[in-house]
Amino acid sequence: MPVFSIVMPCYNAAATILETIRSIRAQTRPDWELICVDDGSTDLTPKLIAEVARNDRRIKLVRNPGKGPSAARNSGAVDVAAGDIIAFCDADDIWADEKLTDIMHVFDTTDCDATFGQIAFFCDDPALAHVRSTVPDGPLTIDMLLGENPVCTMSNLSIRKDSLHRFGGLDPAVVHNEDLEWLIRIVGQGGIITGIQSLHVWYRSSPNGLSADLSAMQAGRTHAIKTALGFGVTASRRAEAVHYRYLARRALRMGLARSWAAKAALLGMLQSPRGFLTPPRRGALTLIAAICNLVLPRNVARTLFSR
């Protein structure tokens, strides 16, 4: 029986999925199963998975009985997974070799329900990733999540299977920011989510992907805020400022329309200048970059901000 069940929703991921699977097969712990839940791919994704699975019996290809990545994750985690720990991974991200070893240590030594580490952002080559996420000290709070979600991506989250059953799965109706809404529900019900100060995931930033659709992100955030209100928590002005800073940084990193980063920075400063600018290394530099992005040549801005 595997200790870890890794759930990977897949949709037309032929260009990246083999690299992702290689990073999973390189884990220093071998006691895992990989459940690839295909969501109706029309490219070679299912064929590539099947070919790898023939040489590694830990890898399974199943079909998503629902629709969308949330339904795929729920199905893999609830209906198929045999492990006691559910670890999620998207089909275009890359795991650090020690990820499973690190999270097993956390689950063995604490009573947390879920855990996560640092992520590094890259476009084409993970070796060129210079920007990393920040892992806060102590368990996550709802107000913290309403600012800048430090988990960042589902590829960075692992949860005990019994905790997943206790708190419920992802909401398939949420198209984007579904992870944020789920994390708020877990914390709101008393779940403990703690971070690890180690790099666990290289996150592939794609200007053409859903993660670049800031309008969709805002719609998902509205749903998350409604969930938070159900637990009696309203986003503070500081949290709103931090969220707008996050949007500005993502717009810069993905090379979106020049006005996106500047608008997000302005809205953040209007909410809470202190919240936006603290810490200065993130806040002040983001504000300066958003302003400079308005006048810099596009190729220069891309070189400076997309790393």
Task: Confirm whether 226 is domain-assigned.
Answer: no
In the chain, the number of structural domains is 2
Alpha-carbon 207 to chain mean position = 16
On whether both 156 and 255 belong to a single domain, the answer is: no
Contacts of 124-131 with CB under 8 Å at 24 or more apart are 126/94, 126/202, 128/307, 129/202, 129/307, 130/307, 131/253, 131/307
Q: In which domain, by residue range, is 288 found?
A: 236-305
For helices 280-292 and 298-305, angle between their N-to-C axes, nearest 10 degrees: 170
Q: What residue type is assigned to position 164 of the chain? A: L
On whether both 249 and 101 belong to a single domain, the answer is: no
Q: Which phi and psi angles does 292 have, rounded to 5°?
A: -65, -35
Question: pLDDT tens track of the chain, all 307 residues?
Answer: 899 999 999 999 999 999 999 999 999 999 999 999 999 999 999 999 999 999 999 999 999 887 889 999 999 999 999 999 999 999 999 999 999 999 999 999 999 999 999 999 887 787 877 778 889 999 999 999 998 899 999 999 999 999 999 999 999 988 778 999 999 999 999 999 999 999 999 998 765 444 446 566 667 788 889 999 999 999 889 988 988 898 888 888 777 777 888 999 999 999 999 999 998 888 898 999 899 888 887 776 566 665 5
On whether both 254 and 156 belong to a single domain, the answer is: no
On whether both 82 and 158 belong to a single domain, the answer is: yes
Q: Is 32 helix (H, G, I), strand (E, B) or coil?
A: strand
Residue bearing tokens 């089909």: 91
Q: What residue type is assigned to position 268 of the chain? A: G
pTM to 2 decimal places = 0.88
Task: Confirm whether 229 is domain-assigned.
Answer: no
Is the CB of residue 195 less than 8 Å from the CB of residue 135? yes
Q: Which phi and psi angles does 273 have, rounded to 5°?
A: -55, -40
